[in-house]
Structure 1
Amino acid sequence: MRMSVFGREVPVVGHNNSVPALFDPSIQYDPITIGTVLRSSPRFRGVEPFYSEFIAGLEDTLRMNNGSVLVHIADSLEEEIASYRRWAASGHVSAIVVHDLTENDVRVGILHDLGLPALVLGDPLHTPESGVATLQVDNFEAVALAVEFAVGLGHRVIGRVSGPGHLVHTVVRTRSFTEAITANRAIARTVTGDYSEQSGFDGTRQLLGGAQRPTMILFDNDLMALGGLTYAQEAGIAVPGELSLLAWDDSSLCRLSTPPLSVMRRDVHWLGSAAAEMVQELLAGRAPGSIPAPSPQVVARGTTAPPAG
């Protein structure tokens, strides 16, 4: 299903679309181990649903050739780099998947010096130095679609609870949000979160306590959206009657919430599977270069509707 918003076709779906295979599935690869390091949040010590699904995609693809994934959770950049050095010295991993890029990110250069092949999960507007395999995730387009969806429903004051500001994809999303709001002559309200459910709760309270109260809020991940939904319910604000909410990335948490959360969905399991295929190709001497991920889609469920009145 597609809806027309200001002359542009916006995909709105209610189920997973199939996504293409990147490489010939009949090719057999040598068993490998892919390493990746996740950063812990001060208010969330587990693994975010995004990375749980991403790692599942890695594992499902590597398992076909008896491969595996090694995951370490680090509290700091220094601890993350120390993990790379240990893995390089021990030979426990064949390659590294790097994600959550920052400006002037040093990790790819360090991995090159350690002799560890790397694949970057990153935004096409901020790709690393040439020669590094990159799975491109277009956050700019996704935010523009989200804003156009909100405006198409009739919302004029649109809030956003963003992720941490030092991350490149947050910077890209913020730029896209600002440009899309301006282009649609809407009003933006933004607060910064840390991807935890509590920061979504606090951010929603802050946005709704301002002078220009948004009628729709976008969240940069699913946990923050759940926090926003919890705040609205505790404050007696009807969702979506008085307030619409749109989460980032689909997960079982979004589908099982009450009401089910509307989302900007990207097939995260496919991202993990594609990353594994790209690394296998890279280690087989067939460098895949840069490959774009499929475009995101709006999935309208129970937390989005036209504004009241």
Structure 2
Amino acid sequence: MRQVAVLAGVSPAAVSLALAGRPGVSAGTRERVRAAAAELGRLPARGGSTVRETAIGLVLTRPAGQLGLEPFYMEFVSGIQSVLAERGAWLLLRLVADRAQETAVHRAWWRARRVAGSVLVDLTEDDPRLPALAALGMPVVAAGRPGPADPGTTAVWTDDAAAIEEAVRYLAVLGHRRIARVGGDPALGHTVLRTRALARVTAELGLEPARSLATDYSAQAGARATRILLAGAHRPTAIVYDNDIMAVAALAVAAEFGLRVPQDLSLIAWDDSQLCRLTHPTLSAMSHDVPGYGAQVAGRLFDLIERRPAPSGPAPTPVLVPRGSSAPPGAV
């Protein structure tokens, strides 16, 4: 409390009144005190309890450098932040090396009363984080469809299988028979759904079996996977990517091979960030309202925290936005 008082330039007594929500301090002083407490990471909430009522947690298994380049999570966090700003709350964000560390961070935050609840991302089919955090009684919303072993988990997800089906059917109508995919981590639930849907739809349409390559979502891995596909004996005429940054990297790889996009090779990105409209040609993409998705997840988490009904349910399905990177194979 003394540290907060020094940082805010007020007395400890004023800090006590401001953080307890009691009369006796101005609105400006109350805001200064809360900002100082937030900066120190120890904001008490009403009634003398700690930060649980005003912060939510998000832990990502990502290298810091990659996170800054990946549009999806920047937009997802912006959507979460839009909900937090309305409530005078904030986000605790931590980057870690593996999912075991994710669970440890969430557990530590909850036991120290640092957060009121958390958002989980990058679900696996049998995600060990879900039962571990449920055992704590911690409000959690999963951004992704949970497995059958976690029926009580509140979740918001997109229909990845339907999105893949739309992309493949579109390419098939254009005349593509050999379609490949550059995917993400094969352990992730949405990667599994997309891989299964790709195999099912290409078989239904009588196309050649589709090849999927796993990556870590980075531009470097996307470029490497694209080179492998283009150097193979059965070069695809179209490739679908699991994020935007890998599709952007693929444009340079196509040029390395002397291939024209879209005449020789069609590309489809995923998420449709601003990157897709800054390239030449512009990238066709499975467009997804990522900030809206983040806001929906955060809103559902506050429903849980405030003990309102919080049923699981889908977010809007990504839809195809054709642009300059897709055309019939061999188009002039």
Q: Distance in 1 between matches of 2:67 and 2:76?
A: 18
Bigger relative contact order, structure 1 or 2, given CA contacts below 8 A and separation 6+?
1
Asked if structure 2 preserves the Cα contact closer than 8 Å seen for 1:32 and 1:93, the reply is yes
Whether contact under 8 Å (2:67, 2:73) holds in the other structure is: no
Q: Indicate if the aligned counterparts of 2:124 and 2:189 stay in contact, CA closer than 8 A.
A: yes
The partner residue of 2:289 within 247, 267, 279 is 267
Mapping for residues 115-130 of structure 1, pairs under 5 Å? 115-123=137-145, 126=147, 129-130=150-151
1:248-259 alignment, distance < 5 Å = 248-259=270-281
2:92 is paired with a residue whose SS is strand
Residue 171 of structure 1 is aligned with which of 172, 192, 196?
192
What TM-score results when the alignment is normalised by the length of structure 2?
Answer: 0.80
Q: SS state of the match for residue 253, structure 1?
A: helix
Matches within 5 A, 1:42-57: 44=66, 46=68, 48-57=70-79
Q: Please name the residue that 1:114 is paired with.
A: 136
Distance in 2, matches of 1:59 and 1:260, equals 29
Please, what is the CA RMSD of the aligned residues?
A: 1.8
* Bigger Rg over Cα: 2
- 1:161 to 2:179 alignment: no
Superposition pairs of residues 187-202 of structure 1, within 5 angstroms: 187=208, 188-202=210-224
- Give distance in 2, aligned partners of 1:149 and 1:41: 35
Residue from 75, 79, 86 that aligns with 2:108: 86
In structure 2, the gaps of 5 or more residues are 1-51
Task: Please list every run of 5 or more consecutive structure 1 residues that lacks an aligned counterpart in the other structure.
Answer: 1-29
Asked if residue 66 in structure 1 is aligned to residue 88 in structure 2, the reply is yes
Q: Judging changes above 3 Å, is the alpha-carbon distance between structure 1 residues 43 and 170 closer, same or farther for their aligned structure 2 residues?
A: farther
**More helix per residue: 1 or 2?**
2
Task: Give the alignment partner of residue 312 of structure 2, picking from 285, 290, 300.
Answer: 290
Q: Aligned partner of 2:216: which letter?
A: D
Q: Secondary structure at the match of 1:259?
A: coil
Query: Structure 1 CA distance, aligned partners of 2:64 and 2:295?
Result: 29
Size of the aligned set, in residue pairs, is: 279
CA deviation digits over 1:38-58, x for unaligned, max 9? 111598364621111011000
CA–CA distance in structure 2, aligned partners of residues 128 and 34 of structure 1: 25
Percent of counterpart pairs with the same letter?
41
Task: Write the deviation string for residues 137-170 of structure 1: whole angstroms up to 9, x where unpaired.
Answer: 2111111111111111111100111111111111
For residue 304 of structure 1, what is the amino acid of its counterpart? S
Render the CA deviation track for 1:184-219: whole Å, top value 9, x for unaligned. 111112222210101111111111111111110001
Aligned to 2:266: 244
Q: Quote the residue 1:12 is aligned against.
A: none
Determine the C-alpha separation between the residues in 2 that align with 1:84 and 1:56: 21
Are the counterparts in 2 of residues 31 and 66 from structure 1 also a CA contact under 8 Å? Answer: no
TM-score for both structures, normalised by structure 1 = 0.86
Separation (CA, whole Å) in 2 of partners of 1:155 and 1:215:
6
| Aligned partner of 2:206 among 171, 182, 185 | 185
Distance 1:290 1:85 in 2: 23
The structure with the greater share of residues assigned to strand is 1
Match of 1:25 in 2: none
